[in-house]
Amino acid sequence: MINLQNQPVPVIVDTDGGVDDALALIMALNSPQLDLKAVTVVAGNINVDQAANNVLRVVSIVKPNTLPIVAKGCEKPLVKQTFNAAGIHGADGLGELDRFQEADGTLRYPKLTIEPSTENAIDLLLKAAQEYGDSLTIIALGPLTNVATAIQKDGATMKKIGRIVIMGGAVTAPGNITAAAEFNFFVDPDAAQIVMESGIPLTLVGLDVTMKAPLARQVVEENLQRHPSKVTQFIADCTGIYMAFHRDNEGFYGCYLHDPLAMAVAIDPSLVKTESLYIRVETQGRFTTGMSLADRRDRRDHKANPPNVEACLDVDTERFMQLFAQLGNLLGNLPVGI
């Protein structure tokens, strides 16, 4: 989380390599408030190998001065069968970039020459927790399998970290992958519950607020016209299939900025209003697996079930969209991404 000395905050982004993850990573790579130590990758929207490749694609386009370590983690959920969102983010998780060609017929997104680290994401998370302690924020944008595995391996070390900002769950909003569950929590509910009961300070950026942050296709296309760059071109290309899915299934031609909002909350927590809640994640439900159940009863036993999450219930959408436009390089006004 942001600190008063305005020193960049050491962060690790844990991601499942989809379209909104890519938009969030562009923000992180452009944010002076964050010191991006590493990106750890987990299976979710797409398999872990493709997700790692997608992270490297974003890095190759933004061209940050310092390349973050990209380390692969868990290939499947702790207990449940693998479940992905290729039908929503595209077969490659990034809008099927191999469709795009330049005017001369060459591939706009050729095969990458950079590789992920050989270091395992779980070991990297534990090493960072040990090294940075409570100054470290983990920004979790996918299923929580990597984080939960690190907690299972060495919970005491993981409890040293300052905070985990999680894109996931929902308090009062319906689910998005089932009526009850948000995608990240649905893919690995067991991991989500392990994180909920870990005792680590948690901020939950759930569907209650992310569904209040839509990005219209028109905005993306207008920005590409006004501010042509590799980054604005990439944003237009990778969001095509994802936005068409929303057009055909959610009634608007655009997409929700789930992961970018979680990134924004890590940068500026004043963007959201939170409530301290006791939340558990259903792991055995017949219809409700992955549901994040907040106990908001007045007569809840506060001693037995103390709040474990700062849950975001409202967002200053206008200020968030300004931050997204700036850090997401939508305005093409940042010196990266020629």
Choose from Ca ion, ligand RIB, none: what does 183 bind? Cβ within 5-8 Å by kind: ligand RIB
Nearer to Ca ion, 184 or 229 (CB): 184
Could you tell which of ligand RIB, Ca ion, none binds residue 242, using a CB distance below 5 to 8 A set by kind? none
Nearer to ligand RIB, 126 or 235 (CB): 235
The one-letter code for the residue type at 270 is S
CB nearer to ligand RIB: give 3 or 252. Answer: 252
Residue 195 is a binding residue for ligand RIB (CB under 6 A): no
Which of 9, 14, 16, 195 is the binder for Ca ion (CB under 5 A)?
16
- DSSP symbol at 196: H
Which one of 14, 182, 282, 310 is in contact with ligand RIB (CB under 6 A)?
A: 182
Site for Ca ion in 97-156 (CB under 5 A): 141-142
Question: CB of 190: closest distance to ligand RIB in angstroms?
Answer: 17
Joined tokens for residue 46 = 């797409």
Q: Which two tokens stand for residue 253?
A: 């031609």
In sequence order, the 6+-apart residues with CB closer than 8 A to the CB of 310 are 201, 202, 203, 204, 274, 275, 276
Q: Which of 62/211 has CB closer to ligand RIB?
A: 211
Whole-number Cα distances in Å, 17 to 3, 86, 90, 166, 248: 28, 11, 11, 15, 23
Residue 137 binds ligand RIB (CB under 6 A): no
Tell me the site size for ligand RIB, rule CB under 6 A: 15
What's the closest the beta carbon of residue 261 comes to ligand RIB, in angstroms?
10
Residue bearing tokens 């909920």:
196
21 binds ligand RIB (CB under 6 A): yes
Q: Beta partners for 203?
A: 165, 310
At 103 the three-state DSSP class reads coil
Using CB under 5 A, which of the segments 189-197, 234-242, 254-262, 279-287 binds Ca ion? 254-262
Contact (CB, 8 A) for 70 and 58: no
CB of 252 to ligand RIB, least distance (A): 16
Cross-strand partners of 70: 39
Pairing of strands 34-41, 69-72: parallel
Structural contact between residues 204 and 313, judged by C-beta atoms closer than 8 angstroms: no
Considering beta carbons, is residue 173 or 334 the nearer one to ligand RIB? 173
Which residues of this chain interact with Ca ion, rule CB under 5 A? 16, 18, 21, 141-142, 259
